[in-house]
Chain A
Amino acid sequence: MAQALKLYYDFLSPPSRAVWLALKLSKTQFEACPVALRKREQLTDEYKKINRFQKLPALVDGSFHLSESVAMIRYLADKNKLSQQIYPKDLETRARVDEYLMWQFRNVHVPCGTYFLKGWLLPINGLAPKPKPEVVAKLVKDVETSLDLLERFWMNDDYLVGDKLTVADLSCSSEIEQLRLCQFHVNERQFPKVAKWLERVRIASKPYNDIAYEFVNQKAKQAAKL
């Protein structure tokens, strides 16, 4: 029997959720290996043997170890482990998904990731003081710039690329949903297309979405009470 595919992940990491959801939605069997970022389990020597960069997610297929989520998606698609809808095979549709996945680094991942880090992760773990209001305002402004770009360039159809859910949607929504921990909510009047699209993605990725976001939802509620 072939060795099981292993995914190392944490539901607090946006690319972890995207790859986990892509596998689940494709009905692919894999061994789920959670690594707790909050306990800094990714920094252990043991984990370094799994992923030399000590980041999440990581994929292990037999003796082949891979980091970086887009590389994983492409590898899994090559091995027929992903549905054709999640990562399309058609040349031009795939290139458009690839275009988004590269575009998002600078335009979505950096602003959303920075806000998450400075607005929630570091202060909640006592690694940095709570950011001052003017710092928060700047972080929010960068995220809004990002949402504005999404609204203008990527919301012409029901999903980011065409009329079906792809890994581009999973990746993008994952970055934005996480900001609920910072008490950030997408303003429906300011970004109507993005708000509707987020809802569409939530529904299209059920029931797995509820599992992947259980922790975010729970913590967001707790944080709202503070």
Chain B
Amino acid sequence: MSSHLASLVGLCDGQDTPNLLNIISNSFRIVQRQSTKLKSQTMSSLKFYYDLMSQPSRALFIIFRLSGMQFEDCVVALRNGEHLTDEFKLNINRFQRVPCINDNGYKLAESVAILRYLSAKGEIPEILYPKYFAKQARVDEFLEWQHTTLRLTCAMYFRTIWLDPLLTGRSPKEDKIEKLRMHMERNLDIIEQVWLAKSEFLTGSTLTVADIFAACEIEQTRMADYDVRIKFPKIRAWLKRVRHSCNPHYDAAHAFVYKISGTGPQAKL
């Protein structure tokens, strides 16, 4: 390479023209490669693997954008099974799920763990995820509560009514749909009656990550033709507030959901 550079700055002679052209173009390529490498290093060392079809992926996507955090977009197409390859398992996430991150070599899965890690690194504003004691504990309480309640039942509903028929070509029976809907609505009812009893947002008067995780979970049911707004007026009003507080990132994250469900945020079902 040193001789290439030497010839370029005219320290070498005796080169014929085609050779020189070759050298120039080769050196140009080297310079170009170096500059891209440099660019990605200064830009961000955090890789974010996600698919906007996944609820927690959308939640983190919105949170990162709202936080103004620098990250490298690494889209993983779940529909093509890109998370199921050996390469993904070995190099990206041993659990073969999204979302996950790679922060300068440190690999981490599970959306809430990722959120906490980045918050500890000072990447998430305190207003979105409070830093200490009681305030953070209230948000943590929601994030844990929702796991085996709202998240599980909404995801089951979505999977059985939308995803499984798509994969198997068979529709679920009416009584099964009814049962899943009941389980889901029992938890939606707790959101309506308990979490939104006294405040504008789930854990107080301002938007936090709890609202974003919950909204992404509930929005997923649109694709299974469920309209949460009919039976739950408080959730309806709260969803509007969450979307408004997060936009334009909320709509960007939900573009697929709107498209697949055929319902925009303004649409009346």
Spell out A's residues near B (CB within 8 Å): 52-53, 64, 66-72, 74-75, 78-79, 91-92, 94-96, 98-99, 101-103, 105-106, 109-110, 153
Contact = CB atoms under 8 A, between A and B. Distances in A.
B246 interface: no
B113 A67 contact: no
23 contacts: A52-B194, A67-B141, A68-B140, A68-B141, A68-B145, A71-B140, A72-B137, A75-B137, A75-B140, A78-B132, A78-B136, A78-B137, A91-B117, A92-B106, A92-B117, A94-B117, A96-B108, A98-B110, A99-B108, A99-B113, A101-B113, A103-B109, A103-B110
A66 B141 contact: yes
A179 B143 CA distance: 27
What's the interface size class on B, roughly? 20 to 34
Contact of A105 (B117, B120, B140, B147): B147
Interface string B123-151: 00000000011101110110111011000
Contacts of A64: 134, 137
The residue among B108, B121, B137, B140 with the most chain A CB atoms within 10 A of its own CB is B137
B95 interface: yes
A158 to B, nearest CB: 19
B116 A68 contact: no
Main SS of the interface on chain B?
helix
Interface string B96-121: 00000000001011111110110011
B240 interface: no
B116 A95 contact: yes
B94 interface: yes
The residue among B94, B108, B134, B190 with the most chain A CB atoms within 10 A of its own CB is B134
Given A98-B117, A102-B147, A105-B147, A70 B110 contact: no
Given A75-B133, A95-B113, A102-B112, 17 more contacts: A66-B141, A69-B144, A71-B144, A74-B140, A75-B134, A78-B133, A78-B136, A91-B120, A92-B106, A94-B120, A95-B116, A95-B117, A99-B109, A101-B113, A103-B95, A103-B110, A153-B94
A196 to B, nearest CB: 21
Contacts of A99: 108-110, 113
B94 A95 contact: no
A98 B116 contact: yes
Contacts of A72: 137
Given A67-B145, A75-B134, A110-B148, A95 B140 contact: no
Nearest to A63: B134
Closest 3 CB pairs of A and B: A71-B140, A98-B113, A102-B110
B144 A70 contact: yes
B95 A153 contact: yes
A154 B239 CA distance: 38
Contacts of B132: 78
Nearest to B145: A68
Contacts of A69: 144
B132 to A, nearest CB: 6
Nearest to A68: B144
B95 A102 contact: no
Contacts of B106: 92, 95
Nearest to B112: A102
B111 A71 contact: no
Contacts of A94: 116-117, 120
Contacts of A109: 148
Contacts of B116: 94-95, 98
Nearest to B133: A78
Nearest to A101: B113
B148 A105 contact: yes
Contact of A102 (B111, B121, B152): B111
Contacts of A78: 132-133, 136-137
B172 to A, nearest CB: 20
